[in-house]
Amino acid sequence: MDTDHVAGPDGPLWAELLDAKRYEPRTLSARDLPTDKGVYVWVREGSPVYAGRAKGANGLRDRLSAHLAKGPDLSRSTFRSWVAVTILGVSRPATRQRPSVMTDLQIQRVNDWVAGCRLGWITRPTSPQVIQFEHDLLDAWKPPLNR
């Protein structure tokens, strides 16, 4: 990990995102997720581990649904892919392969790890605002799974 990232999240953007309501992944379904554009954060043991943005037509619903998926295809979720790299020691290309080369046990370990996280988000009205927020957020501090 870079020494630039040791200090942890700081500043008003991180404060706003970390103040957002957090949800347990296992309690969420696609219909619970907003279709608004926004920025989201995955938190584990009180610390942010990954932040991202959703700016497409179905916004947070589409992007977070990929992260909440439990199937063997990790290629659609950068978050799940980096979780696999980090906890399983597999290569990033292996996590992005289609069809998946991950075993059922490996996928279960990724799913269990994700289930131990909490998820929060904030919305923004436009894609440029989402892009700018995420850029400034990650410029201030980058969580360990944002590589």
Q: What is the pLDDT of residues 28-57, one digit of tens each?
A: 999 999 999 999 999 999 999 999 999 988
CA distances from 100 to 74, 128, 130 (A): 7, 33, 31
Region 16-37: mean pLDDT is 96
Q: What angle do CA 18, 30, 94 make, to 5 degrees?
A: 80
pTM: 0.92
> How does the average pLDDT of the chain come out, rounded?
93
Residue 113 is encoded by which pair of tokens? 């790890």
5 has pLDDT over 60:
no
pLDDT tens, residue by residue, 66-96: 999 999 999 999 999 999 999 999 999 999 9
- Which residue blocks in the chain are alpha helix, DSSP H? 12-18, 59-68, 78-88, 92-96, 104-115, 127-140
